[in-house]
Structure 1
Amino acid sequence: MWISPIKSVVCLPALRRSSLRCLGEESKMAISKKRRRRASIVIPQREHSAPPGSIEPPPNSSTSRLHVIAYGTDRVEERDLDDVAALRELRNQAPGVLWVNIEGIGDASTFKELGDLFGLHSLALEDVVHLHQRPKAEEYDDHAYVVLQMPTSDDTASLEQVSIFFGADYVITVQDGQPGDCLEPLRQRIRGARGRIRQHGADYLAYAVMDTIVDSFFPVVEQLNGRLEQFEDQVIDRDGDELVAEIHAARHELHMLRRVLASSREAIGLLVRGEAGPISELTLPFLRDCHDHTAQLLDAVEALRELVAGLMDLHLAGTSNRMNEAMKVLTIIATIFIPLSFIASLYGMNFDRLSSPWNMPELGWRFGYPFALSLMLGTSVGFLLYFRHRGWLGKTRKKTAHVRGELS
C-alpha cells in the first residue's frame, strides 16, 4: 500500500476476481451518488430473562434455507434440503468435506437439530441467532466457531453477519438472510475443481470462506477512496453544510470499517497462532495470507481516516479563507471611502466666505467642483494601485488556480 503525494490516493493491492465480482459494478455506480445513507452502530438486543445458551431468533427473521455441497477429490454433490433430517442422511454418505450453508435464522428448531447432529456448543448457537456480534474466533472440544461481518453491497452501511463452524470434515456457514453473498465464486471453484480446494480438508474450506469474505472489503474501501477523491477536488471550491455532512458520513463509515476489520484481524490471528480451531500445517500459510489481507485493509482504512481529517481541516481552512476574502473586500471598500468621506465633509462645512477670504476659497473657484471630484477619483485610484502593489488585489485568483492545478 502506498499513498500518492499529490492526490493522497490510497492504492490497494491487486484485488482477486472473486471480490471484484461481488461488488464491482455497484461500486462504480456508487461513486456518483451525492448522498449516502449513514452507517448506524447497532447495539445487540438480548432477552435478559433467557438463560445462557437459549436459541431465540429475533422477530421477523427470515426462514432458514439449507444448501449443501459435499465434495471429494473425484466428485461433488450439491442439493437444497428442507430440514436437518435429510442432512443427517447426506452426512453419512458424504464423499469427503461437507459444506452446509444456511440462509436465514428464523427457525430455532433447525439450529437445535443442527447442534445435536454436529455437536455444536449451545453458546455458539446462541450467538448465531443474536446478530451484530463482534468478529471473533472461539475453540470448542472438536470444532471452532468464527464470526465475521460481510458487506452485501458497496455501501458500508450494509453488513451481514456470517457465522462459521468447522470441524474435521464439515463447514457450516450461517447468514442472516439478506439476499446475495460473495461466496458464489468459491462454489464455482468447488464445482469446477479449480485450484487446490478439492484436495484439502474442511479447514482449508473454512479458510477459503474467510478469505473470500475479507477480500470482499477491498471494493468497499476502493469505493470510499473514490468518494474521498471527489471530496478532495470539491473541498476548495464547494461550500455549504452538504459537503460537511458527506465528509462526516464517510468518516463514520471508516470508523465502522476500522472496528470490524480490527476485530477480524484479531480473530484470524487467533487461528493463525493455533489458539482457536483445528488448523492443519498445510492450511496455515494460506491463513497467514488472509491475516495479511486484513492488515492491508486496516492500513488502507487508517490512511483514509487521515485523509478525511485532512479534508476537514482543508474545508475549514477554505471556509476561513473565503471569510477572510470577504472581510478584505469590505475593508478595502471602507479604506477607499474613508478619505472620500473626509473630502466630502471638508467641503461641506458651512463657513461664511464673505467674512474672510480664507473661508473655503475653492467654493468660489470656477474649477472647484471638478477639482473636488478629481481629488476623490485620484485618491481612490491611488489606493487601488497601492493595494495591488502590495499584493492585496488581483493575485488571490491566480494562487487558487495554481493550487488547483497542482492538485489535478
Structure 2
Amino acid sequence: MKRLFRRQTEKAGLPPGSLVYTGYKSAEKVKIKLIRYNESDYSEYDIENVGELESFKNTEGIKWVNITGLHQVDIFESFEKMFGIHLLTLEDVLNVNQRPKFDDYDNYLFVVLRMLSFNKGTNEIDNEQLSLIVTKEFVFTFQEKEGDVLDNLRNRIKNNKNRIRRLGTDYLAYSIIDTVIDHYFYLLEQIGEKIEALEEKMVKEPEDGNVEEIHKLKTNLILVRKSSWPVREMVDNILQSESELLSDATYNYYRDVYDHVIQIIDIIETYREMVAAVMDIYLSSLSNRMNQVMKVLTIIATIFIPLTFIAGIYGMNFRYMPELEHPYGYPIVLFVMLVIGLFMLYYFRKKRWL
C-alpha cells in the first residue's frame, strides 16, 4: 500500500503555503541540471545552487531545469522571489502524494503527473511524482530521485534539430507530459504479457503461489489506474485553458495526449476484467481438481463397500456358519470379491465415471 498512498501527518495543522517535504528522507545532495537550447544551439549545465539560475533569465533559448531531490526544503524558498512562484505551488511540489492536476496562474502553469517506471530489481512499479512549472522562458521539472523516463526526450532535443528545438516552453512541457503518458503503454504491455502467461498457466496447472501473482497484478493495475484517471481531467483542463503561455498549435498536440489517456484507461479496464477472469479460472481449476480427487476417492470407497460387507459377514464370531467348514470357502470368497470389484470397475468405465 505504500506505493499507492503515503502518510502526510507532518503537514497536519500547518498553515497553507508551508514548505514541508512529505517524501522519504535522503542524505544525497540535490542535483540541478539545466538544458538550454534553440534551433541552432544546445548546451548543458550542472547548477550548484538555485541562485545561479537567475543569470539565465532573459537569455536566448528555452531553458529546461531538472531538479532531482526535494528533501532540502530551503532550496525552494528562493523560487518565490526569483521566479514569482506561489508558495502554494511549491507546497504542492514538496507534497509528493499529489493527484495529477493542472493549475493556471498568471505568469506560469503548474502540472503534476505520476511518473511510473518498472523496477527490474523488485519486479514492481515505482511510483514517483513529477511536477512541472512552465514559464515563458523556463520549464522546471521536480522529481524525488535520480532516474526517470525522459532520457529519450533529452536525446531527441540534443541530437535532432526538429520541431522541439524550434518551438517554445509550452511544446517542451507537452513533450514531457507525452513521454510520461506514453510510458504507461510500456507498463501496460508488460502487465498484459504477465496476465496472458498467468492465464495459460492457470488453465494447465494452477499452483498455490498463483494467488500472490494475481494480487500483484491487481495492485499494479490499481496503481496505473490511480495515476492515469485524473490525467484525463488534467489534460481537459489544459485544453480549456486560455493561458497566453499556450500557443494555438500546441493545443492540437494536447488533444493527441487526451486520446492516449483514453486508450490507456480502456486498456486498464480490460486488464482488470482479465485479472478477475484469471482469478475465476484459478478458483474453477482448484474446484475441478478437488472434484477429480473426490471422484476417485468416491469410486474407491464404492468398490470397497460390498467387499467390506462380505468381509464383515465372514468376520463374525458365530460358532455355526455354513461356509466355515468348507475346504474351498476362503478362495471362493476371494474370487467372489474379485469378480464384484472388476464388475464395478467395468460398470463405472462404461458410465464414463472413470
Global fold match (TM > 0.5): yes
- The amino acid of 1:125's aligned partner reads L
Give 2:195's match in structure 1, choosing from 228, 231, 239. 228
Residue 213 to residue 326, structure 1, CA distance change in 2 (3 Å):
same
Give 1:320's match in structure 2, choosing from 283, 287, 290. 287
**Other-structure match for 2:299:** 332
**Other-structure match for 2:33:** 67
What CA distance in whole angstroms lies between the structure 2 residues aligned with 1:119 and 1:112?
11
Secondary structure of the equivalent of 1:63?
coil
Identity %: 38
Secondary structure of the equivalent of 2:57?
helix
Q: For the Cα contact (< 8 Å) 2:62–2:169, is it kept in 1?
A: yes
What CA distance in whole angstroms lies between the structure 2 residues aligned with 1:46 and 1:52?
13
Alpha-carbon offset, residue 213 of structure 1: 0.9
Q: For the Cα contact (< 8 Å) 1:115–1:122, is it kept in 2?
A: yes
Secondary structure of the equivalent of 1:158?
strand
**Other-structure match for 1:368:** 329
Residue 339 to residue 98, structure 1, CA distance change in 2 (3 Å):
same
What CA distance in whole angstroms lies between the structure 2 residues aligned with 1:161 and 1:38?
14
What CA distance in whole angstroms lies between the structure 1 residues aligned with 2:327 and 2:201?
59
Give 2:54's match in structure 1, choosing from 55, 67, 88. 88
Q: For the Cα contact (< 8 Å) 1:150–1:159, is it kept in 2?
A: yes
Secondary structure of the equivalent of 1:306?
helix
Alpha-carbon offset, residue 275 of structure 1: 6.9
Residue 109 to residue 366, structure 1, CA distance change in 2 (3 Å):
closer
**Other-structure match for 2:135:** 167
Q: For the Cα contact (< 8 Å) 1:70–1:98, is it kept in 2?
A: yes
1:298 maps to 2:262? no
Q: For the Cα contact (< 8 Å) 1:167–1:278, is it kept in 2?
A: yes
What are the superposed Cα offsets for residues 79-103 of structure 1, whole Å, 9 maximum, x if unpaired?
111122221111222x232211111
Residue 214 to residue 348, structure 1, CA distance change in 2 (3 Å):
same
- The amino acid of 1:172's aligned partner reads F
Q: For the Cα contact (< 8 Å) 2:3–2:127, is it kept in 1?
A: no
Q: For the Cα contact (< 8 Å) 1:73–1:198, is it kept in 2?
A: yes
- The amino acid of 1:86's aligned partner reads E
Residue 39 to residue 173, structure 1, CA distance change in 2 (3 Å):
closer
Alpha-carbon offset, residue 39 of structure 1: 4.3
What is the TM-score when the length of structure 2 is the normalising length?
0.91
The worse-fitting range, judged by mean Cα deviation, of 178-187 and 152-161 is: 152-161
1:98 maps to 2:66? no
Matches within 5 A, 1:8-407: 39-58=3-22, 60-61=25-26, 62-93=28-59, 95-154=60-119, 155-176=123-144, 178-236=145-203, 237-240=205-208, 242-274=209-241, 278-349=245-316, 353=320, 360=322, 362-393=323-354
What CA distance in whole angstroms lies between the structure 2 residues aligned with 1:157 and 1:300?
17
What CA distance in whole angstroms lies between the structure 2 residues aligned with 1:100 and 1:238?
50
What are the superposed Cα offsets for residues 300-326 of structure 1, whole Å, 9 maximum, x if unpaired?
221111111111111111111121122
What CA distance in whole angstroms lies between the structure 2 residues aligned with 1:226 and 1:276?
42
What CA distance in whole angstroms lies between the structure 2 residues aligned with 1:276 and 1:348?
99
What CA distance in whole angstroms lies between the structure 2 residues aligned with 1:382 and 1:53?
87
Q: For the Cα contact (< 8 Å) 2:206–2:285, is it kept in 1?
A: no
Q: For the Cα contact (< 8 Å) 2:21–2:96, is it kept in 1?
A: no
Alpha-carbon offset, residue 221 of structure 1: 1.5
Q: For the Cα contact (< 8 Å) 1:148–1:162, is it kept in 2?
A: yes
**Other-structure match for 1:22:** none
What is the TM-score when the length of structure 1 is the normalising length?
0.79
Secondary structure of the equivalent of 1:239?
coil
What CA distance in whole angstroms lies between the structure 1 residues aligned with 2:317 and 2:52?
112
- The amino acid of 1:289's aligned partner reads D
What CA distance in whole angstroms lies between the structure 1 residues aligned with 2:167 and 2:39?
9
Q: For the Cα contact (< 8 Å) 2:58–2:137, is it kept in 1?
A: no
Alpha-carbon offset, residue 259 of structure 1: 0.8
Q: For the Cα contact (< 8 Å) 1:63–1:105, is it kept in 2?
A: no
Residue 71 to residue 290, structure 1, CA distance change in 2 (3 Å):
same
Question: Which consecutive unaligned segments of at least 5 residues does structure 2 have?
Answer: none
What CA distance in whole angstroms lies between the structure 1 residues aligned with 2:67 and 2:316?
95
RMSD over aligned CA atoms reads 2.2
Alpha-carbon offset, residue 197 of structure 1: 0.4
What CA distance in whole angstroms lies between the structure 1 residues aligned with 2:256 and 2:182?
11
Q: For the Cα contact (< 8 Å) 1:71–1:96, is it kept in 2?
A: yes
